[in-house]
Chains A and B, each alone.
Chain A
Amino acid sequence: MNQSAPEKDEHSVIHSTFTIERTYPQSPERVFHAFADKATVRRWRIEGDGFAIAEFSFDFRVGGGEVSRFSYGGGPEVRLDAQFQDIVPDQRIVFSYRMAVGPQPMSASLTTVELTPSGDGTRLTYTEQGAFFDGVDSAQGREEGTRGLLEALGAELQKSK
């Protein structure tokens, strides 16, 4: 256990859970397909963040997984290793994933995506439970990440005008 407030260089771990909800006008089958189909996943989750993509492998089955490696603006490589833990077609996807920036492990998470019919559309509930490791809360990393986010947001807003 921690003996004081977690700081940058201490060995600490933070556990946290958050939930995001969205409603899409498309059917659960369509939304599920967007999570299951490699090309579609690449479009909405991998591309468009302004990252240089070094690797994206994707095997959608229980026990299968994903490896993504990317970097932003010449920064350190970010690596995501995911494994599918449970798949119920059109209803539920559970996956665990680990993130690292360069040699530094950042976090390990368990994510549950639930799809329920909502009128003619789909209600999506995204719940992520995670362990956030020590030493990754560097101001530099956060600033780079935030800058990347804001630039991606700007580009997205331009496109959707």
Chain B
Amino acid sequence: MTFAAVLQHLQALEACGLIRSEKIGRVRTCRIEPAGLAPLADWIAERRIPAERHLDRLGQILAETDQPPPKNQNQEKDEPQ
């Protein structure tokens, strides 16, 4: 990877607000900007949480509609069976 390529990547990250950089003399120091990730976290939460809830409710409804309701394995959703 060339220096120019590294610089281009860092500029892209900075443009997105994910990092901040500061140049002192000949040295440019980059640091991660945690707040830059907040919109991403918001997006994921807004989509992921309802989707998680829906899939849990799907599990409940599947269990309810089992003809003879098996009582042994309805609860554990992540148990490999």
Contacts and interface: CB of A to CB of B under 8 A. Distances in A.
Contacts of A14: 39-40, 43
A25 B50 contact: no
A55 interface: no
The dominant DSSP class at the A interface is: mixed
A109 B58 CA distance: 21
Interface of A: 1-6, 12, 14, 16, 18, 20-26, 30-31, 34, 40, 43-45, 48-49, 107, 109, 118-121, 124, 126, 128, 130, 132, 137, 142, 145, 149, 152-153, 156, 160
Contacts, number: 110
A22 B55 contact: yes
Contacts of B16: 1-2, 5-6
30 contacts: A2-B17, A5-B17, A6-B39, A14-B39, A14-B40, A16-B40, A18-B47, A21-B78, A22-B77, A23-B79, A23-B80, A25-B62, A25-B63, A25-B81, A40-B61, A43-B57, A43-B61, A44-B54, A44-B61, A45-B57, A48-B57, A118-B80, A124-B55, A126-B51, A126-B55, A130-B43, A142-B46, A145-B46, A149-B50, A152-B53
Contacts of B58: 22, 24, 31, 34, 44-45
B60 A4 contact: no
Interface residues on chain B, size class? 35 or more
Nearest to B58: A44
Interface of B: 12, 15-17, 33, 35-36, 39-40, 42-44, 46-63, 66, 70, 73-74, 77-81
